[in-house]
Structure 1
Amino acid sequence: MRHGLSFAAYAVAGVLSGCVAPVAGGSAGSAPLARAALVSGDVVAIGPEGYCVDPVTLARRPGRNFAVVASCRILSDGETGPMVEPAVMTVTVGPRQATAALPSPAVMAAQAGQRLIGGREQDGVALAHLASGGDAVLEAGDPRYWRAVYRQGSRLVALALYAPEGSPLAEEAGAEMLLQMQDRMAAASAAPAEADAGN
């Protein structure tokens, strides 16, 4: 456990499913990454400023790639990165789907099996604020958490944000952080990934 966050408990649903599955992959002791190439570089996982990709959680397999993003300082045991709000963000990339439409916030909530307490569609991103489930993923987490889905090329990319109980990121600030993350990922995915060429 690092700073009260249980990284062994990272889990995420499929791109549009409500199933929760444990994440495995990477190697213990690996340094956090500034970014990571997923699905042969079609999508680059990159967090907001001060947040890094945890290489231990990278999972790349046909049909779905996955990564976890968290504080660079926490992931490096205080060796690098600025102080930022504790949070865990996940990235799930699905297969190529030429005609798949973005789900509405209500559909996202229904597929997660959670009550929708807020949401919107903004700049090509569907955002859903869910009433419960965050504390099942993040130790000492707030039950409320955010999901977002957007299209990168022919793929749907799902993001989620989990924060400690009472964190402003469990409220509207979480949506703004996911929008910032999506903007950085979209920009990074338009160019070759630099830090991690694995597929």
Structure 2
Amino acid sequence: MSIWISKFLFPALLLAACVPATTGGGSGASVSFLNGEIRAVPPSGYCTDPRASHDSGQGAVILMGRCPGKGAAVPALITVTLGAPGSSAVLKNGAKALSDYFVSPPGRAALARDGRPGSVRVAKTALSEGALVLRVEDRAVGGYWRAVLGLKGRLVTISVMAPEGASLPEEAGREILERTMASMRAANRSAAAKPAATTD
């Protein structure tokens, strides 16, 4: 589990660091990735930035930010990472196994911007309609929310963090995460793979 999850998470963190708080010329409507297999629909007030996103054909990193002119939306960076076909099989190990991995040194190293487990603390874990939700505290980027779920057989992570130089209240970040999960599930009409066990 540890090796390929590390490969899955790290590119998303690097790309997220490059995205401004407000996207330029992004789209709040559906944008297709992976040859049309997955549709990305951001929550209301946010737009997908196709220019900053990356689609390899096997996986994708989709970046979203506040739409231009949407001053009422809380500034936030939303990163949606799509794994390879069949990658959601890791969820069959159950939420407890996945949660245990992320709080372990290898899991915290996978989450850390600098790759060091001591740089990250997993402050909270929870389940939300089958998705594993983590509150992560990273020395490099501060606190942010991350969800791990399955869509159409692909492992998907969704992260919500504050833009550089801004703050994002914890409750607001969690709300944006939940709204993003809901919009992605609705757009793809696919129930997320549900882990078999609960977490504390």
Q: What TM-score comes out, normalization by structure 1 length?
A: 0.69
Where structure 2 has 5 or more consecutive residues not aligned to the other structure, the ranges are 1-5, 112-116, 191-200
Deviates more, 1:120-129 or 1:32-41: 32-41
Q: Distance in 1 between matches of 2:67 and 2:24?
A: 12
Q: 2:33 aligns with which of 29, 38, 58?
A: 38
Which residue of the partner structure matches residue 172 of structure 2?
173
Residues 124-163 of structure 1 mapped to structure 2, 5 A cutoff = 124-133=130-139, 135=141, 143-163=142-162
- Counterparts in 2 of 1:17 and 1:57: CA distance versus 1, 3 Å: closer
Which residue of the partner structure matches residue 67 of structure 2?
72
Does the aligned pair in 2 maintain the 1:127–1:175 contact within 8 Å? no
Tell me by how many angstroms 1:163 deviates.
1.2
Output the aligned Cα RMSD: 2.8
Report the AA paired with residue 31 of structure 1: G
Which residue of the partner structure matches residue 89 of structure 2?
99
Report the AA paired with residue 135 of structure 2: H
Which residue of the partner structure matches residue 60 of structure 1?
55
Tell me by how many angstroms 1:16 deviates.
4.5
Report the AA paired with residue 157 of structure 2: A
2:76 counterpart of 1:87: yes
Does the aligned pair in 1 maintain the 2:12–2:79 contact within 8 Å? no
Does the aligned pair in 2 maintain the 1:146–1:174 contact within 8 Å? yes
Q: Distance in 1 between matches of 2:188 and 2:126?
A: 24
SS in 1 for 2:53: strand
Q: Give the strand-richer structure, 1 or 2.
A: 1
- Counterparts in 2 of 1:17 and 1:50: CA distance versus 1, 3 Å: same
Where structure 1 has 5 or more consecutive residues not aligned to the other structure, the ranges are 1-12, 136-142, 192-199
SS in 2 for 1:40: coil
- Counterparts in 2 of 1:158 and 1:67: CA distance versus 1, 3 Å: same
Does the aligned pair in 2 maintain the 1:106–1:128 contact within 8 Å? no
Q: Give the helix-richer structure, 1 or 2.
A: 2
- Counterparts in 2 of 1:30 and 1:178: CA distance versus 1, 3 Å: closer
Q: Distance in 1 between matches of 2:7 and 2:175?
A: 22
Does the aligned pair in 1 maintain the 2:34–2:55 contact within 8 Å? yes
Per-residue CA deviation, residues 30-84 of structure 1 (Å, 9 max, x unaligned), is 62112321222332222211000012212110332111111002xxxx3xx3521
SS in 1 for 2:72: coil
Q: Distance in 1 between matches of 2:31 and 2:134?
A: 25
Does the aligned pair in 2 maintain the 1:14–1:92 contact within 8 Å? no
Tell me by how many angstroms 1:119 deviates.
1.8
Q: Identity of paired residues, percent?
A: 24
Which residue of the partner structure matches residue 14 of structure 2?
21
